Structure 1
Amino acid sequence: MAAIFSLVAASSFAEFHWFEQPIKMDASLSLLAVGDWGRKGTFNQSRVAEQMGRIGEELDIDFVISVGDNFYDTGLVDVYDKSFEQSFTNIYTAKSLQKQWYAVLGNHDYRGNAVAQLDPILREIDKRWLCMRSFMVHTDIAEFFFIDTTPFVKKYWKHPKKNHYDWRGVAPRKKYVSKVLKDLEMALSKSTSIWKVVIGHHTIRSVSEHGDTEELVDLLLPMLQEYGVDLYMNGHDHCLEHISSDDSPIEFLTTGGGSKAWRGIYNPNKVDTLRLFYDGQGFISLQLTKTDAKVVFYDVNGCILHSWNRTKGWHPYI
């Protein structure tokens, strides 16, 4: 596994830690992204993991991204919860997946002991695991901005008796969300990276069960547009989706097919251009060079469902 180095950012980046991720000698990088997976191998989680291992070897991936809802149904109980090993360590066993995993929290993770997933003790149990609320991963050709989206969603705060949420270190909501947005804006404004990728659990654009997340459309999307973000990657809806913005270069990538899927819900979105909707399990790969980006969507059998390419330097909005 390539070493990573934590660089604690300046005080203006209080919510963001910065991690340096080495890439290949030819200045390219490749990764896999998956979400909504932690079910101890059930609901085809093990099959998805097997195909991730195969594709990961083919692409010689540098790291893996988890877009949240890492452990169902209610996160982890504590740092010694066996679900961590049963749903992560014992499932993603392929040699190619023994790389750094960068993870954000999802709403189901907040229903348990959210702080446990952030605890460095888990990295002692499995050194691949790195989960924080909001943080940055820097490479020579791309920067990845991981955002804690669950506290943005107002409905999670309104019915505490229905579902418990672990708001330690987060409440009050408005102050926390404001701080995350302020730090993200500062990070994006200072970024000179060729590619900018933002990762959060919740959808911004989706045609499936959860649809667009209103709070992210209102608060986050304008910032992504202003600072030229290329990709927004998320889970939450248990499917695979690719939606292209019609008024900016942003591509919205949903990769929530890590385990339980097939919701049977499709609600066409007239705002932007739908390129893929697949109501089943799977994952995505992302390959980047200084000039090119390639995204590929795979189903539970590792078959290619859809691919997309962009060459940097030419785009109708650049």
Structure 2
Amino acid sequence: MSTLSKVFLFTFSFASWVFHTSAELQTFAHPLKSDGSLSFLVIGDWGRRGAYNQSRVAFQMGKVGEKLDIDFVVSTGDNFYDNGLVNVQDTAFLESFTNIYTAKSLQKQWYSVLGNHDYRGNAVAQLSPVLGEIDPRWLCLRSFIVNTELVEIFLVDTNPFVEEYFTETDGHKYDWRGILPQKSYISNLLKDLELALRESTAKWKIVVGHHAIRSVGYHGDTQELVTQLLPILQENNVDFYVNGHDHCLEHISDRESPIQFLTSGAGSKAWRGDTHEVNRRGLNFFYDGQGFMSVQLSQTEANIEFYDVFGNVLHRLTASKQLYSSI
């Protein structure tokens, strides 16, 4: 059996690995490497049929993915521009995903959340298992958990939190099927997330959403997330909050907790020079060009690197933990 066939066979086996925690968020188990470590890439705001340097970013992802022997890829949303997918037969899926991320190292599971541009199309199409039949790498749900025991990654659909998508749509029609009523949906999601975070025994906790909690990029902070989501993350010892939405790469330290805010939304079109002067305190790194991020985890250390479209490492973050928790 070829390596690629083994990858796809492994991917299809995920369906039997799905289970529920006591919360309502679906959990997918993903194995660690034989030495107990894990590595993955993070890319956001990418789906443009190869344009705006998407193909060049994908090429560098392939090289870094091979070097790090990555286990999977995480997408922070805005997977298909400008208005998501029309349906499960939309050729944009192949033209922006399958035909772009062709490197051998990228033939791994992709865990994806939805972005606001995805909601402007047929959001439900991206959640369909039909896409997984077309390309077995694809797995996209609204909110779910990837559990490796070493780390739990909590992928959260942040779109329903943003009030302007309901009140000031600028002529866009959002696909809110399965979301309404909004307030009940958000309340239930926050309860489920809080319970899952509290019950987690993983060494590392990472939360992924499309929208930034803290950002100096074009969109800046998402106030609804600052008010409703951030306190839950702070109270439950989350290590990293990872997002896209702003088309940049950045690293900001929280002012009130050890949380590090990491933006990887530079998968294709970047916004040169569009920054906010707020939240400069805690800013460790900002880059307004295209690129992506890598994460390497062990029991004692997290190594995160940001890369530009040429594969250069622009910024590194290292975090350490004790091998055993103190009693």
Note if contact 1:31-1:63 (Cα within 8 Å) is conserved in structure 2: yes
Say which of 164, 172, 182 aligns to 1:163: 172
The one-letter code sitting in structure 2 at the alignment partner of 1:286 is V
What amino acid does structure 1 have at the position aligned with 2:62? G
1:209–1:263 CA contact under 8 A, matched in 2: no
Aligned to 1:247: 256
> What residue is the counterpart of 2:26 in the other structure?
17
Matched letter for residue 243 of structure 2: N
CA offset digits 1:127-161 (Å, max 9, x no partner)? 00000000000002100000000010000001356
Match in the other structure for 1:209: 218
Aligned residues: 312
Spell out the pairing of 1:191-270 with structure 2 (5 A cutoff): 191-270=200-279
1:43 aligned onto 2:52: yes
Aligned residue runs from structure 1 range 1-318, under 5 A = 1=7, 2-3=10-11, 4=14, 5-10=16-21, 12-14=22-24, 16-160=25-169, 162-270=171-279, 272-313=281-322
| TM-aligned CA deviation for residue 242 of structure 1 | 0.4
- CA–CA separation in structure 1 for the residues paired with 2:266 and 2:66: 20
1:71·1:87 contact (CA, 8 Å) conserved in 2?
yes
Deviates more, 1:272-281 or 1:39-48: 272-281
Q: For residues 18 and 271 of structure 2, what CA distance do their matches in structure 1 show?
A: 41
How far the C-alpha of 1:13 sits from its partner, in A, is 2.5
Per-residue CA shift, 1:56-84, capped at 9, x if unaligned? Answer: 00000000000000000000000000000
Could you tell me which residue of structure 1 aligns to residue 4 of structure 2?
Answer: none
CA RMSD, 1 decimal: 1.3
Q: Is the 8 A contact 2:296 2:304 kept in 1?
A: yes
CA distance in 2, matches of 1:103, 1:84: 13
CA distance in structure 1 between the partners assigned to 2:290 and 2:28 by the alignment = 30
- Matched residues in 2 for 1:268 and 1:307: separation? 23
d(CA) in 2 for partners of 1:282, 1:217: 26
Give CA deviations for 1:276-304 in whole Å, capped at 9, x if unaligned.
Answer: 10001000000000000000000011100
Matches of 1:254 and 1:40, distance apart in 2:
22
CA distance in 2, matches of 1:108, 1:36: 9
- CA gap of 1:247–1:159, structure 2 versus 1, over 3 A, is closer
CA shift, 1:271, in A, is: 6.6
TM-score (norm 1): 0.96
Q: Which residue of 1 aligns with 2:3?
A: none
For 2:67 and 2:105, the matched residues in 1 are separated by: 9
Any stretches of 5+ residues in structure 1 without a counterpart? Answer: none
Gap regions ≥5 residues in structure 2: 1-6
In 2: Cα distance, 1:34 partner to 1:303 partner: 16
C-alpha separation in 2, matches of 1:196 and 1:7: 19
C-alpha deviation, 1:226, in angstroms: 0.2
CA drift of 1:262 comes to 2.8
User: What is the rounded CA distance, in whole Å, between the counterparts of 1:27 and 1:60 in structure 2?
Assistant: 13
**Share of identical aligned residues, percent?**
60
- The runs of at least 4 consecutive aligned structure 1 residues that moved more than 4 Å come to none
- Assess if the C-alpha contact under 8 Å between 1:238 and 1:279 holds in 2: yes
| Matches of 2:309 and 2:34, distance apart in 1 | 31
Per the alignment, do residues 246 and 161 of structure 1 end up closer, same or farther by CA in structure 2, a change over 3 Å counting? Answer: closer
